[in-house]
Every structure is written in structure tokens, then in C-alpha cells.
Amino acid sequence: MEVSQVQNKIAVYRGWCKQCGICIAFCPHQALEADEDNFPILKHPEKCTRCGWCEMRCPDFAIVVYEEEKSNREADSTSGE
């Protein structure tokens, strides 16, 4: 399955995406835009807060928002070490 460019925050599965634009319309920070083939891309990654609105609203489950990775130091502090 073809995945558009994973940009550390989201992935778009082009095989599932029907290019409806719902994810772009619901992005509260206008981080997503359509590419030349009308697929959503994370055009402004600095604006993306990983809120998940695009993933929740996608009727085809074609977009995935990745959780922010914790550094080793953060992981250690949350595990009680």
C-alpha cells in the first residue's frame, strides 16, 4: 500500500484516500493542504499539534497521526526510574 511522505507526525495511505478534503477542512491549524494530485499533505508541520481531528474525521481511515516520541530521559522519569 502506498503511503505518502511520512512527516514525523502523520501518514496518509493513498490507496485508501479518496481525496475528499475532509481532513484538510477540519484541521484547526491549517497544517494540511492538498498536493498536486489532491492528496492531503502536512504542508506546515510546525502548525500541527497532533490533535487528531484529521484522523478522527477521515471516513476511510486513510490518515494516521503519530504520537510524539518521548526522549529516553522523559521515558525514564515517567517509569519511576
Task: Give the model's confidence band at 70: pLDDT under 50 very low, under 70 low, under 90 confident, else very high.
Answer: low
Q: What is the CATH number of the domain that holds 18?
A: 3.30.70.20
Query: Helices (DSSP H) in 1-81: which residue ranges?
Result: 22-26, 53-57, 72-78
pLDDT at 27: 96
**Residue located via cell numbers 510524539:** 68
- Residues, the chain, total? 81
What CA–CA distance (Å, rounded) separates 12 from 64? 7
Task: Give the model's confidence band at 67: pLDDT under 50 very low, under 70 low, under 90 confident, else very high.
Answer: confident
CA nearest to 53, candidates 19, 28, 32, 33:
28
Q: Which residue has the higher pLDDT, 37 or 68?
A: 37
Query: What is the total count of domains within the chain?
Result: 1
Query: Is 28 within a domain?
Result: yes
pLDDT in tens, 57-66: 999 999 999 8
Query: Is 52 within a domain?
Result: yes
Query: Is 44 within a domain?
Result: yes
Query: Is 5 within a domain?
Result: no
Query: Is 50 within a domain?
Result: yes
The residue range of the domain holding 74 is: 10-78
Query: Is 1 within a domain?
Result: no
pLDDT in tens, 4-47: 545 578 999 999 999 999 999 999 999 999 999 999 999 999 99
pLDDT at 76: 54
